[in-house]
Amino acid sequence: MACSVNFPVLAKPTSPQPSSSTKPFINLTSPLSSSSHISRVSFCFDVTLAHSRRSSALGLRNKQSPVFSIVAAANAKPEPLRIMISGAPASGKGTQCELITKKYGLVHIAAGDLLRAEVAAGSENGKRAKEFMEKGQLVPNEIVVMMVKERLLRPDSQASGWLLDGYPRSSSQATALEDFGIRPDLFILLDVPEDILVERVVGRRLDPVTGKIYHLKYAPPETDEIAARLTQRFDDTEEKLRLQTHHQNVEAVLAIYEDLTIKIKGDGPKDELFAQIDSALSGLLEQKKATSTSVASGV
């Protein structure tokens, strides 16, 4: 919204001696959105004849009312990007997250990493989560949602924008974020055919020392020493069940973000995938810039 300025027209003084009640005043109201920043407002007062003792003495009273002009220089900054990305295990989501954050400087937030960090830091949410984890139970949604919400609202996320990785995973989690007023600008879904996903996940191996994920075909270990210690996190049956669970959950989430979703075919080279994502994000950023400029100029 544009800044509005009201200049009340005051009655001319009937006495040669002006009182304080007849002095011109300015009433400024600026209902600006959080994304608009007024960097400089200068008031230029061009008062040709004032209601003062001096003007009275010169015999020039009331020939012209005070004239005011306002010059507002607006330096509008667009709102940062707010992005969610989802993909099945082995969809290449981790690689795309790295490329996105590198180019756009977004704060990368993954619920699993956030949960572990909160527990390690001993935060209130972390302590509550640890109680369930020590019992071998799943951490309740409400605890994880609170962690995610608080992380998204931190100053760095608000200033730089955020990339929420693999969350929400269910309609209840998405609804909870909506209730907090948290909604993305774009929901990216990496869509990979089932047979390719199965081939990718079955060949994945974990290095228990470094935590790095390898693939026997696509990303083999660098040395025989590393290869000897690799472990398989899940067997074939478990991997297929995880894929089935993902597909069921993501459909429910897509129903909430249907108007914000773009599907990217994830079976091509990573650079081609990123080119599509990059095009969508660049276009979104240009829209935000155009909107902020219009708001600042009062259009």
User: Which residues participate in catalysis according to the annotation?
Assistant: 93, 169, 204, 233, 242
Residues 110-116: contacts with CB within 8 Å, 24+ apart?
110/165, 110/166, 110/167, 111/144, 111/147, 111/148, 111/165, 111/166, 111/167, 111/169, 112/166, 114/147, 114/148, 114/151, 115/139, 115/144, 115/147
CB contact at 8 A, 192 and 91: yes
Structure tokens at 7: 């200049």
CB contact at 8 A, 180 and 149: yes
> CB under 8 Å to 237, separation ≥6 — which residues?
none
**27 DSSP assignment:** E
Widest CA span in the chain? 102
